[in-house]
Amino acid sequence: MNRFKDPLPKITLKENRIHMWNDIFKKLRKIKRNTARKLDNIMQHIGTKELIAISLGIVVIAFAIILIMAHISGVKNNSLSEKDGENQIANEGTSGDGDMPVVEMASKETKTESTPDTTVLVKKEGAKEGYLNRCVFLGDSRTVAMVNYGFFNDDSALAQIGISHPAFASNKFMNNAGKEYTMKSYLESHQAQVIYILLGVNGINDSSEDHYKNTFISLIDRVAELAPNSNIVLVSIGPVDDNGRYKDYVQNALIDKYNDFLLEIAKEKHIFYLDIAEVLKGSDGQVKSEYNGGDGLHYSGKGCEAIFNYIVEHPVPGISDEGEYIVKYVKPDPNKVKVTTGDESGINEGNFGDLMDIMGITEDQNASDASSQSSIVTEDEEAKKKAEEEKKKQEEEEEEAARQKAEEEEAAKKKAEEEEAAKKKAEEEKAAKEKAEEEEAARKKAEEEEAARQKAEEEEAARQKAEEEEAARQKAEEEEAARQKAEEEERKKQEESSNSGSTENTEGNGDNGSGDGNEAPTSQSEGSSGQTTENNGD
């Protein structure tokens, strides 16, 4: 159900603080005057020590009064800021972001993985709208329309007209209440039990099918990383009119192809898939005429209502639907609407005005435009709910402070452990380096000693070889000398033998001098011949 409130009077935070401090100063001046008068009377009857003790007591009391007044002022300011903070658009019938219902946080207990039988969400009989108190929606202009028609709370949707899934994670968004987010900051502060991804129609004419699919997978992985306990639901891309204004950018054939891809990825990653095309598509395969917003791409109020009911009736298993779902309507400001234009979105100046009308963004729009979809909450109900929200907010802040403290202590512990590990690693590396240097020095020394030993051995071998060669040479010289000596002795012996023969021949000739004169020459000739032969033999 939707809830709307009358515009609230604007009282600035600055004015309230000025009044508060004026009251404090007046009370302090009054206390000062009364204290001064009393001190004049008392000082005549008490000593110095008593006077100091009384002065300290007065200072403590004054300080306590200041703290109490500051606390009271803080409570008032918080209450006032919810009515007139920076995010308020008072003249648009909203009390701003501070009055937004708080999305219930996810936990490990609320996280579940889909199975082949539960991937496609099925209808639940008797489903209640309280389920949406646990959901947030990431989307494009079709999701913006769901907010502007009063079906989703403004702060439960992170969406922008014309945005495509490849650009979603790096984009900066502004909701109707004027609050800015990135996907990272939004999911870090909105850890909902269920996160719906309603993207894919913008940029569906991507020339690269791989680029379209890979960027979608990257987006899903990033959402899962930022919200690990949340259940992710991929919502099918709703049908269009193939002959509508955006026929050059998107056709149902492409939608059907990429819906098959989304279903396949949901099964692969064990997340969920919601087939809203089932309720939006007619028997001819086109968007039903009563759901066509006029341009063939965006949906009418009835179309948004059909999507709303389909989401409620097909919840994620295990997520509670108890509690009343109240929509805090925030009228969109045409001057603050963010739009992504260009080829992939198909939005240009020619169709911008009509698109704003379809989105429910017009200058003369007021909260009564959607009053048929809402009921008025009484002031007592609002006050009660507001008190409960303030209490819950305070508890969440205390839990957040405790969580941050625990994280800081854990971070400090982790840092100390990392520093100790780094120190230990540095010492080990130093020791290893020194050991390696020592081993290298020892290796070099061993190599040098081995080289010296080998050199000594080579020098000793060379010396021994030289000695052996010298001994051999001397021996050869001695043998040559002995041979020559033997030859000399032999020659002398032969000469002596020869000389002895000559003497005998001479003596023979003398004896035979009276004989035949022809015999002596023959004998001499034979003796000479014999000597010659003997000498030659030598």
Question: pLDDT in tens for each of the 538 residues of the chain?
Answer: 443 333 333 334 445 556 566 666 666 766 766 776 666 666 666 666 676 777 777 777 877 777 776 666 554 444 433 333 333 322 333 334 556 777 899 999 999 999 999 999 999 999 999 999 999 999 999 999 999 999 999 999 999 999 999 999 999 999 999 999 999 999 999 999 999 999 999 999 999 999 999 999 999 999 999 999 999 999 999 999 999 999 999 999 999 999 999 999 999 999 999 999 999 999 999 999 999 999 999 999 999 999 999 999 999 999 999 999 999 888 888 888 888 887 778 887 777 778 888 887 865 444 334 333 333 333 445 556 667 778 888 888 888 889 899 999 999 999 999 999 999 999 999 999 999 999 999 999 999 999 999 999 999 999 999 999 999 999 999 999 999 998 888 888 888 888 876 666 555 554 544 444 444 444 444 444 444 444 444 3
Same domain, 79 and 99: no
Report the alpha-carbon distance of residue 202 to residue 186 in Å, rounded: 21
What's the confidence (pLDDT) of residue 43? 62
| pTM over cut 0.85 | no
Residue 25 lies in domain: 9-85
Residues 137 and 21 in one domain: no
CB atoms within 10 A of CB 338: 16
Residue at 65 is within a domain: yes
Buried b (16+ CB within 10 A) or exposed e, 154-168: bbbbbbbbbbbbbbb
Both 69 and 112 in one domain: the answer is no
Q: State the pLDDT at residue 25.
A: 65
Report pLDDT for 285: 95
Is there a single domain that holds both residue 73 and residue 96? no
What residues does 3 pair with on adjacent strands? 328
pLDDT at 347: 83
Query: What whole-number distance in Å separates Cα of residue 498 and Cα of residue 517?
Result: 24
**Ranges assigned E (strand) in 241-284:** 272-274
Give DSSP secondary structure letters for 196-209.
EEE--STTTT-S-H
Is residue 142 within 8 A of residue 89, CB to CB? The reply is no
Locate 393 and state its tokens.
């907010």
> Phi-psi category of 419—alpha, beta or left, where left has phi over 0 and alpha has psi -120 to 50?
alpha
Does residue 143 form part of some domain?
yes
Both 175 and 220 in one domain: the answer is yes
On whether both 311 and 274 belong to a single domain, the answer is yes
SS3 content of the chain, % helix, strand, coil (to 5): 60, 10, 30
Backbone angles phi, psi at 339, to 5 degrees: -135, 140
Q: How many domains does the chain have?
A: 2
- Domain contains 488: no
In a domain, 495, yes or no: no
What is the CATH number for 146? Answer: 3.40.50.1110
151 plus 182 within the same structural domain: yes
Same domain, 117 and 55: no
DSSP state, residue 44: T
Give the pLDDT score at 165.
96
Last residue of a domain, one of 335, 353, 376: 376
Question: What pLDDT is recorded for position 493?
Answer: 86
Domain boundary among 85, 115, 141: 85
pLDDT at 492: 87
Task: Please indicate, yes or no, whether residues 170 and 297 belong to a single structural domain of this protein.
Answer: yes
Residue 447 confidence (pLDDT): 92
Considering the domain architecture, whether residues 366 and 232 belong to the same structural domain is answered as yes
Q: Is residue 411 part of a domain?
A: no
Q: In this structure, are 256 and 312 located in the same domain?
A: yes
Task: Specify if 69 maps to a domain.
Answer: yes
Q: Is 302 part of any domain? A: yes
Residue 444 lies in a domain: no
| Identity of the residue numbered 498 | S
Final residue before a domain boundary, out of 376, 398, 414: 376
Within this chain, do residues 80 and 122 fall inside the same structural domain, yes or no?
no
pLDDT at 391: 81
* pLDDT of 338: 86
